Chain A
Amino acid sequence: MARNDLQGTLDLLILKTLSQMEELHGYGIVLHIQRASDELLSVEEGSLYPALHRMEMSGWIRSEWKVTETNRKAKFYRLTPSGQREMQNAEKSFEQLVKGIRAILRYA
């Protein structure tokens, strides 16, 4: 069975965001997910940073301190090739999760 826990979902959201936006800081990721999902999804800051840290440990993303447009120092994250692969896997398993859940909802 594909890995389809909720943590995997948060990972997928972050990875996807980074693949779309190239390079982003934590706050930017929160805003992007909120905006892109039409305010349906909101990422909790308390979970975001541990997730980013863990993903960096796993080598999926890489970070760098940079200056933002508003002249603030912030840590910017960017996808690595292995993160790219991880994102494709996560996407696949998420689609299966959705398929599975939909099948159950349609049942009966």
Chain B
Amino acid sequence: MSVLRRIVNTFSRSKLHQEIDAEIQAHVEMRIADNIAAGMSPEEARHDALIRFGNRTVMRERMTAMDAATALDGFGRDLRYAARQLRRSPAFTATALVTLILGIGANVVVFSVLNAMLLRPLDVPQSSGLYNLVHKQKGYDSQSYPDYLDFQTKNSTFSYLAAYRPEIAGLSTKDAAYKCWYYRVSGNYFDVLGVQPAQGRFFHASDEHGPNSAPYIVVSNNFWRAHFNSDPRVIGTTVDINKHPFTIIGVAPPAFHGAEVFIWPDFWMPVVDNPDIEGTDFLSWRGNHNLWVLGKLKPGVTPQQATDNLNAIAHELAKQNPEDDGLDARLTKPGWLGDQFGAPARSFLAGIMLLAFLVLLAACANLASLFAARTADRGRELAIRLAIGSSRWNVLRQLLSEAVLISLLGGTLGTLFSTFLLNALTRWQPFPGFPIHVTVTAGPKVYLVAVLLSIGSGMLWGVVPMRQIWSTDSAQVMKSGGATLVFRCFTLRDLLLGVQITLCTLLVTSSFVALRGMQSSLHASLGFQPQGALLAETDLHMGGHFGDSVTQMRKRMLEEVGRIPGVTAVGIIDEKPLGTGGSGTRVYREGTADFRPSNSAFGAKYCGISPGYLQAAGTRLLSGRDFTWHDDAKSPRVAIVNELFASSMFGPANAVGRRFMWGDKLSYEIVGVVENGKYETLTEPPWAAMFLPLEQNPNSDTSLVVRSPLPSNQIVPELLRTLTQIDPSLPFVFHTWPDALAFVLFPARIATATLGVMGLLAAMLAVTGVFGMAMYSVSKRMREFGIRVAVGAQPMQLMRTALKRPVVLLLAGSVIGLLLGVVASQLLAQIVYEATPRDPLVLGGVLITMVLLGFVATWIPAQRALRIHPARLLREE
């Protein structure tokens, strides 16, 4: 009670006064009554009662002082005094504030992102115990529908398993047609995630009765608002999806966007409707791994028990089905499209968080130096306070209040500034045409972290002068007129500054490496020439084309687009390289009879291309021939492979005319060999790859590659007109091929930008750190320098004394930082293409940066040391 009471008392002192008065009044009255009863006159009785109390005001003050003297009131006084002190030295305050705003702001931004991406559970009602079921081998994260069903029915450790996959489809109403991203999901999907519809109803497992049995969709709240004006009457109406009628049965709640952190689909559709929509039936195809599986653990089951359980099922399935040979299971945290994106993203964010924290530490180191210097300058004031009876604890508390006050102010401003940044980040849509949003909002957790960081950093640099205060001998200090600062060979402050310079060099090196990597990735040998090529992408199923109609449409498109003036080459590929997806399969040597995965030669990427694609894409054909329209579904199977495929299968011998086999037990003849390329990411290891004729690899995805020397804004309108004439209902997405690479360049861009910003921050802090130290060491030794100049010292000699220490620190820090940078670049190489510090430009860049930095930081102190006038200086003293 007492603490609460004290706080209340401090804020309502007058109330306390009243209570004390009332109590004393009661006492006095009782005494008067007794006195009168004992025979005194009322006058006498009153006098006697009052006189016993002595001075009532003094007593009341003594009583209230007990409350006022508590820490709270004292702290308030400290704060007021601190504010006055800080107003009196605006330069120090401003430096400290800017440093802290940057340091704390950077931390808050990074922590918010980290919190939103990794720490915050998925934005669904029941997020605990949710796991993605993936394969043990990294990068193989999806399951086939039959495997999913077996896992779902045979496991004993999950309450539910749901399956989902993002897809694109054309959705058309009476009035408009949209290209939409949607999830095809198992019937129990919404029940597993535990969400309730905002309007209408959701579909459930009980709605599924075999293929194409549930023609229902649930639209997202955003889509409902944007395209149906939030009209509840839309429930029950019919829309066409890829020209098939579907009924809208419900609207999802506003924040709900499924179990992936980034993806915001437009609607959800039962997976059983897939055959109609896609034209292919993967529901019974055990070898087709294309669904992500999400499960909710039963209460009390550990992830390890669940993994064992699933592995046992996988083992059994592998025995029963040849397609499941080698099947295994692993659990991973949901939200990041399995582990493929999650693991690198997690380590990258954790790394950035560490860097941000180090930057803040560096900032604190700076402030500690500044503050210690300031305390030394205030030595006399502090000595007087100690001499007239202030306790050392009081003095320290006073200094700490100053530090914490500045830190809190800096933290508040830094948080404000980072909120602006985060808002911009939330509004940002990194890839036009993709349903990707990064929603980062600063919640209570973030604010708590900001406050803790502020107070923590204030404490950190505020206690540095503690030793100074404790060792202050007030008599000594007042006599000598100022604090005598003892210069030791090597102090904690030097170490902090050295660490800071090391960190700065590390960050500068990393950002140079990343920048160079970005630059070289634009000129990397991708296996195609993005410059000068346009892409027009669509899915022919959206126009209701299946089977032969697909081929007819493609032929017409190629013919008519090829006739557009200025178009030099045109071709079609079903899944463009370095896009969002890619298909891979195992290939077998000719003559293989047993097609189990362990007998395969290797894995290869594959896609379908039209005749003329290689020329339009600028992929070099090294030997053999391109496809023709005669390589169709009825003719013998043929393939064009890349160099790596050819050399892995046949060694150095010419591969053209030789054969290999696929898991579908068909034999393929190699008709051509093309250069190697990049297929899924820029940093991937070289992959074997093969191209198939479009008709031998049925797929309705269609990317027209149009090569033309004309600028894209001239060719796109003509292209659009031509394609609309062929089929007005087909939605197309146009972009230049370099623009389309934004997706694969995204991680590298983010890494480069983040490292750049951090590097800049660290450089600024290092400059102020070195500057502060050099300036201080010069100003403290002005008198010594004056004497030395007077007795004939040369300017260079003075410079050497004044700047030796900062320069040595700068050199040592730079060397260590560069070495660390070399190590860090190996991590960076996973994100950025060809990241290597063994590049003269990188090394030279870092060197020049650090030298410049050193110059900037020491220029003014050096000037000050050089402009010493001994006569004037000695006169002043």
> Interface residues, chain A, CB within 8 Å of chain B?
25-27, 44-46, 49-50, 53-54, 57-59, 68, 70, 72-75
Contact = CB atoms under 8 A, between A and B. Distances in A.
B29 interface: yes
Given A50-B59, A50-B62, A59-B2, A45 B27 contact: yes
A46 to B, nearest CB: 4
Interface in B27-64: 27, 29-31, 33, 52-55, 59, 62-63
Contact of A75 (B1, B26, B62, B67): B26
Contacts of B67: 57
Nearest to B54: A46
A49 B17 CA distance: 13
Interface of B: 1-2, 5-6, 19-20, 22-24, 26-27, 29-31, 33, 52-55, 59, 62-63, 66-67
A72 B30 contact: yes
A32 B23 CA distance: 18
A49 B24 contact: yes
B30 A50 contact: no
Nearest to B26: A74
Which of A45, A50, A58, A75 counts the most B-chain CB atoms under 10 A from its CB?
A45
B26 A27 contact: yes
B2 to A, nearest CB: 5
Contacts of B62: 50
Contact of B27 (A26, A50, A70): A26
B59 A46 contact: yes
Contacts of B54: 44-46
14 contacts: A25-B30, A44-B52, A44-B54, A46-B53, A46-B59, A49-B24, A49-B59, A49-B63, A57-B2, A57-B6, A58-B2, A59-B2, A72-B29, A75-B26
A15 B702 CA distance: 93
Contacts of A46: 52-55, 59
A59 B66 CA distance: 14
B478 to A, nearest CB: 35
B52 A50 contact: no
A49 B26 contact: no
B27 A25 contact: yes
A49 B66 CA distance: 12
Given A45-B52, A53-B66, A68 B30 contact: yes
A57 B6 CA distance: 8
A89 B30 CA distance: 33
A19 B6 CA distance: 26
B25 to A, nearest CB: 9
A49 B52 CA distance: 12
Given A50-B63, A75-B22, 12 more contacts: A25-B30, A45-B52, A46-B52, A50-B66, A54-B66, A58-B2, A59-B1, A72-B29, A72-B30, A73-B26, A74-B30, A75-B19
Contacts of B66: 50, 53-54, 57
A88 B51 CA distance: 34
A26 B62 CA distance: 17
CB-based closest 5 A-B pairs: A74-B26, A46-B54, A27-B30, A27-B27, A53-B63
Contacts of A44: 52, 54
A27 B53 CA distance: 12
A57 B5 contact: yes
Contacts, number: 57
Contacts of A26: 23, 27
A85 B5 CA distance: 22
B59 A70 contact: no
A56 to B, nearest CB: 8
B21 to A, nearest CB: 11
Nearest to B50: A45
Contacts of A75: 19, 22-23, 26
B26 A25 contact: yes
B5 to A, nearest CB: 7
Contacts of A45: 27, 52-54
Nearest to B30: A27
Contacts of A49: 20, 23-24, 59, 63
Nearest to A68: B30
A78 to B, nearest CB: 14
Nearest to A43: B52
Contacts of B23: 26, 49, 74-75
Contacts of B29: 72
Contacts of B22: 73, 75
Contacts of A70: 30, 33
Contact of B26 (A54, A57, A58, A72): A72
B535 to A, nearest CB: 77
Contacts of A50: 59, 62-63, 66
A73 B27 CA distance: 10
Point out which of A53, A59, A68, A72 has the most chain B C-beta atoms below 10 A from its C-beta: A53
Nearest to B33: A70
A8 to B, nearest CB: 17
A55 to B, nearest CB: 11
A29 B22 CA distance: 17
A80 to B, nearest CB: 10
Contacts of B31: 27
A49 B55 CA distance: 13
A101 B216 CA distance: 97
A83 to B, nearest CB: 13
A85 B811 CA distance: 66
B301 to A, nearest CB: 47
A74 B5 CA distance: 20
A25 B24 CA distance: 11
Contacts of A53: 20, 63, 66
Contacts of B30: 25, 27, 68, 70, 72, 74
Chain B CB within 10 A, most for which of A54, A57, A59, A72: A57
Nearest to B58: A46
Nearest to A54: B66
A34 to B, nearest CB: 11
A73 B22 CA distance: 9
A44 to B, nearest CB: 7
A54 B59 CA distance: 13
A75 B59 CA distance: 17
A70 B59 CA distance: 27
Contacts of B1: 59
Nearest to B27: A27
A68 to B, nearest CB: 7
B133 to A, nearest CB: 58
A73 B6 CA distance: 24
B74 to A, nearest CB: 16
Nearest to B5: A57
A18 to B, nearest CB: 16
Nearest to A59: B2
Nearest to A62: B1
A74 B25 CA distance: 9
A14 B710 CA distance: 101
Contacts of B26: 25, 27, 72-75
A22 to B, nearest CB: 18
Contacts of A27: 26-27, 30-31
| Residue of B30, B33, B54 contacting most chain A CB atoms (<10 Å) | B30
Contacts of B55: 46
Nearest to A48: B27
A79 to B, nearest CB: 15
**Most chain A Cβ neighbours within 10 Å, of B20, B27, B59, B62:** B27
B780 to A, nearest CB: 48
Contacts of B19: 75
A59 B2 CA distance: 7
Contacts of A68: 30
Contacts of B6: 57
Nearest to A26: B27
Contacts of A74: 23, 26-27, 30
A46 B30 CA distance: 16
A4 B485 CA distance: 46
Contacts of A25: 26-27, 30
A60 B757 CA distance: 59
